[in-house]
Each structure stands twice: as structure tokens, then as C-alpha cells.
């Protein structure tokens, strides 16, 4: 039974898949729950790109989906909030006004530069890039309140070839601080399977997940980061296997920002 907690719809400006089609596909795939996590990125480094949503319209559409399909699948209203150190307060205010079930805190812009187009990596060694990325992440964990999990924790490897060669193991001292901070705040991480589609690597290595487990981490969501209908719950069976092998017995779902633990 799968619970996909990272799904984009036509409410994200980089996604054309209709929410209705996604829900129908999720039912066909027999997903138990689907959580829409459309993009909101304030102060994105390219002013021409607008990652924002009309919450009223978003809510109405999700309510419509619940009315139409709610007897076959549970549909949650989430968000993928693009976080940066200087906007944590603004993001908190926005989420507090929105009645969301679940919020992913994701870094898409670091050092005020874009990760996706590679600007962030220019004039930095991979190690400098990693240290800066984790520094901003830690700041955001300490200062941003209204989120549940960190999105695609090792996104640097997704967008940059040299960064992909770095070993997370070389940053375990920093990662330990980040995990402890998350655990103390009852927050967690997601396992984002999108990188398995492109590069056949998990964005969090087995050993990094093991470190999280050993530190007492319990909150874990699974997300396909789908921008099309066909990638829902992609390779979740494989992730379940890894989690069980490490010792995890549960994954996490959310409703009104409160966690529920589901046996795997
Ligand atoms: Zn993202
Ligand atoms: Zn996403």
C-alpha cells in the first residue's frame, strides 16, 4: 500500500498534468493516499518564473477532487515550500493562513542562486557547495516552523555531475546535526524517488538513512516528485525494502500537519 506525498499538478507552473487525471491514475495504481504538494517559491532567483499558487482556487479544486473521488482514495492538501533563510517568516505566515495537511521544505535556491540551472555551483568546489547548502538548510530548520519534512535532501546530486560524485558520508558530522535538529522538532525527511528515474541513485544513501535511524529518526515520507501521471509511487516497493532492511517499521502520513505512522 503506497502513500505518495510529493506530487505536482497543473497548479505548479512547471507541471501540465491535470489534477483530475493524476487522481484517476492514482486510483488505477491503487494508491492509498495522494498528497498534492504544488510549488510555492518566494523570491525565486529568476523574477520571470512565478512559483506561486492561488490558495483559494487550489483548495476548491482539491475539495472537488475529494467529493468526486474521496470514496476511492484519500486526497491531501500539501505544499512544497521553496525555503531560503531570508524568507522563513513570510513562509510561516503564508502556511498559517492556509489550512494545509502537509508541507515539504525544499531548497531550490541557495546562496540566492538557482540550483536547477547550475548558477549555484559556479565558482564553488563541490565541497563548498555542499557546506553552503547544509548551512542554509540548518538555518531554515531552526527558523522555519510550519513544515513537516525536508524535501529531496541531497538535491545537489540531482543537478550537478560533480556534486553527484561527492559522498554524503563525508558530511555525516553536519548531517548528524541536521538530523538531530529535525528529530528534536518532531520533523523528518522525505525519500524522493525522482532521482531513480534519471540517475538510478536515491537522493539519500542507504548509510545516510541508517544514520537517521540510529539517531532515532522516525518521520519519513515517500514522494515520487511526479510532474506527470505515470511516475506516481515510482519504485516505492524498492524504498520499502531498503527501509525494512535498515530497521524502520513505519512510514509517515499527515493530516492537518499531524503525523500518523503506517506499518510497512
Ligand atoms: Zn523540489
Ligand atoms: Zn517537487
pLDDT, position 199:
74
Q: Which CATH number fits domain 3-263: 3.20.20.140, 1.10.10.10, 2.60.40.1180, 1.10.3720.10?
A: 3.20.20.140
Domain ranges of the chain: 3-263
12 contact partners, CB below 8 Å, separation of at least 6 = 38, 39, 51, 53, 227
pTM of this structure: 0.96
Q: Looking at residues 117-146, what average pLDDT do you find?
A: 96
Ligand sitting nearest the alpha carbon of 36: 2
Task: Tell me, in angstroms, the distance from the centre of ligand 1 to residue 250's CA.
Answer: 24
Q: Please tell me the predicted confidence (pLDDT) of residue 158.
A: 84
Q: Convert the pLDDT of each residue in 86-124 to its tens digit.
A: 999 999 999 999 899 999 999 999 999 999 889 999 999
Residue 261 has pLDDT above 80, yes or no: yes
List alpha helices for the chain, DSSP H.
Answer: 19-28, 55-69, 88-96, 126-143, 156-159, 161-165, 172-184, 194-198, 206-214, 236-246
Alpha-carbon distances of 15 from 8, 51, 65, 172, 226, rounded to whole Å: 7, 11, 18, 34, 9
Measured from the alpha carbon of residue 226, the closest ligand is 2
CA 106 to ligand 1 centroid distance, Å = 6
Q: State the DSSP code for 107.
A: -
Distance in Å, CA 153 to ligand 2 centroid: 12
Burial of 10 (0-12, 13-18, 19+ CB in 10 A): middle
Q: Which three cell numbers stand for residue 250?
A: 513505519
Question: Is the CB of residue 232 less than 8 Å from the CB of residue 26?
Answer: yes
Beta-carbon contacts of 147 under 8 Å, excluding residues fewer than 6 positions away, are: 81, 83, 95, 103, 104, 105, 187
Tell me which DSSP letter residue 11 carries. Answer: T
Work out the burial of residue 226: count CB atoms within 10 Å of its CB; fewer than 13 is exposed, 13-18 middle, 19 or more buried: buried
Q: Ligand 2 centre from 88 Cα, in Å? A: 19
Angle at 165 between CA 159 and CA 170, to 5 degrees: 115
**Ligand nearest to the CA of residue 155, numbered in listed order:** 1
Phi, psi of 5, deg, nearest 5: -110, 30
Contacts of 87 (CB under 8 A, 6+ apart): 42, 43
Going by pLDDT thresholds of 50, 70 and 90, the confidence category of residue 25 is very high
Distance of CA 6 from the midpoint of ligand 2 (Å): 6
The neighbourhood of ligand 2, an ion, using CB within 5 A, equals 80, 225
Strand duo 149-150 + 102-106: pairing? parallel
Instruction: Calculate how far, in angstroms, residue 39's C-alpha sits from the geometric centre of ligand 2.
Output: 7
Q: Which ligand is nearest to the CA of 8?
A: 2
pLDDT at 196 over 90: no
Query: What's the CA-to-centroid distance between 84 and ligand 1, angstroms?
Result: 13
Would you place residue 52 in the very low, low, confident or very high pLDDT band (cuts 50, 70, 90)?
confident
Q: What is the mean pLDDT of the chain?
A: 94
Confidence of residue 205 (pLDDT cuts 50, 70, 90): confident
Rounded distance from Cα 262 to ligand 1 centre (Å)? 24
Q: Is the pLDDT assigned to residue 200 strictly greater than 80?
A: no
Q: pLDDT band at 47, cuts 50/70/90?
A: low
Amino acid at each position: 500500500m503506497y502513500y505518495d506525498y510529493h506530487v505536482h499538478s497543473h497548479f505548479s507552473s512547471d507541471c501540465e498534468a491535470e489534477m483530475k487525471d493524476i487522481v484517476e491514475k492514482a486510483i488505477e495504481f491503487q494508491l492509498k493516499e495522494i498528497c498534492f504538494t504544488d510549488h510555492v517559491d518566494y523570491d525565486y532567483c529568476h523574477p520571470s518564473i512565478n512559483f506561486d499558487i492561488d490558495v483559494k482556487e487550489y483548495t476548491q479544486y482539491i475539495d472537488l477532487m475529494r467529493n468526486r473521488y474521496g470514496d476511492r482514495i484519500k486526497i491531501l492538501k500539501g505544499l512544497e515550500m521553496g525555503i531560503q533563510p531570508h524568507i522563513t517568516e513570510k513562509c510561516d505566515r503564508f502556511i498559517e493562513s492556509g489550512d494545509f495537511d502537509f508541507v515539504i521544505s525544499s531548497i531550490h535556491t541557495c546562496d540566492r542562486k538557482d540550483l536547477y540551472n547550475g548558477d549555484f555551483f559556479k565558482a564553488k568546489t563541490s565541497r563548498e557547495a555542499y557546506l553552503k547548502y547544509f548551512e542554509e538548510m540548518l538555518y531554515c530548520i531552526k527558523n522555519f516552523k510550519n513544515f513537516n519534512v525536508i524535501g529531496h535532501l541531497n538535491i545537489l546530486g540531482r543537478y550537478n555531475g560533480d556534486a553527484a560524485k561527492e559522498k554524503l558520508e563525508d558530511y555525516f558530522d553536519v548531517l548528524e546535526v541536521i538530523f538531530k535538529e529535525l528529530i528534536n522538532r518532531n520533523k523528518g525527511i522525505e525519500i524522493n524517488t525522482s532521482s531513480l528515474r534519471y540517475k538510478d541513485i536515491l537522493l539519500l544513501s542507504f548509510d545516510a538513512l541508517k544514520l537517521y535511524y540510529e539517531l532515532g529518526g522516525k518521520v519519513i515520507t515517500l514522494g515520487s516528485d511526479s510532474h506527470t501521471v505515470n511516475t506516481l509511487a515510482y519504485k516505492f516497493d524498492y524504498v520499502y525494502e531498503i527501509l525494512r532492511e535498515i530497521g524502520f517499521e513505519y512510514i509517515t502520513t499527515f493530516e492537518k500537519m499531524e503525523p500518523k505512522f503506517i506499518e510497512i
